[in-house]
Amino acid sequence: MLRYLNKCSHGRGAWLLMALTAFALEMTALWFQHVMLLKPCVLCIYERCALFGVMGAGIIGAVAPKTPLRFAALAIWIYSAIRGIQLTWEHTQIQLHPSPFMTCDFAARFPSWLPLDKWLPQVFVASGDCAQRQWEFLKMDMPQWLLGIFVAYLVVALLVLIAQFFKPKKRDLFGR
């Protein structure tokens, strides 16, 4: 399996598939916000940023999968998945154990050199409350689903990272 993952990491298809899954999740978030009229909270916005990190890693990996740039993509992928887990865990705790002492900010704080909320307010401006449960599917809220998704991203990323040390078998016509 690790040899297969190594082989996949050297091709564009797997990287593009990862970017496509993150893009689909971003489009789903925008559907919830603009069509179903659910209000994203600050943690939701940060979770979107982590998904954009995963999507960016997929695009970087697809650009040059046979070069060392693949390792930069892996690093971004792992970092984004870890940050996504941290954010969704915090969000889940706020929703499951509401407390006036455990709240989130009113507005997302982006660095001055990357004011995403000013550049794309329809995507990066928060208007909801982190403790409010707005959507549920199979008895799990949105942050709980995202927690599972980010854990899956991290597990696959770590397997791909480990697979980099397992060279794929070269098979030729005569079995040499």
Known active-site residue 12: no
Q: Model confidence at 169, in pLDDT bands (50, 70, 90)?
A: low
Q: Is residue 174 part of a domain?
A: no
Catalytic residue among 3, 8, 49, 104: 104
pLDDT digits (tens, 9 = 90+) for 33-54: 888 888 888 888 899 899 999 9
Catalytic residue among 3, 130, 133, 171: 130
Known active-site residue 44: yes
CA distance 135 to 143: 10
CA distance 158 to 133: 32
Q: Which structural domain, as residue segments, surrounds residue 16?
A: 1-108+117-165
Known active-site residue 8: no
pLDDT digits (tens, 9 = 90+) for 59-96: 998 898 778 888 899 999 999 999 999 999 988 888 77
Say if CB 9 and CB 61 are below 8 A apart: yes
Mean pLDDT of the chain: 83
Q: Is residue 175 part of a domain?
A: no
Instruction: Read off the pTM.
Output: 0.80
Q: Is residue 170 part of a domain?
A: no
Residue 136's φ and ψ, nearest 5 degrees, are -145, 140
Tell me the three state secondary structure of residue 141: strand
Known active-site residue 130: yes
Known active-site residue 171: no
Q: Is residue 25 part of a domain?
A: yes
Question: The domain that contains 145 carries what CATH number?
Answer: 1.20.1550.10
Q: Is residue 102 part of a domain?
A: yes
Q: H or E segment at 68?
A: none
Query: Would the pLDDT of 175 be above 60?
Result: no
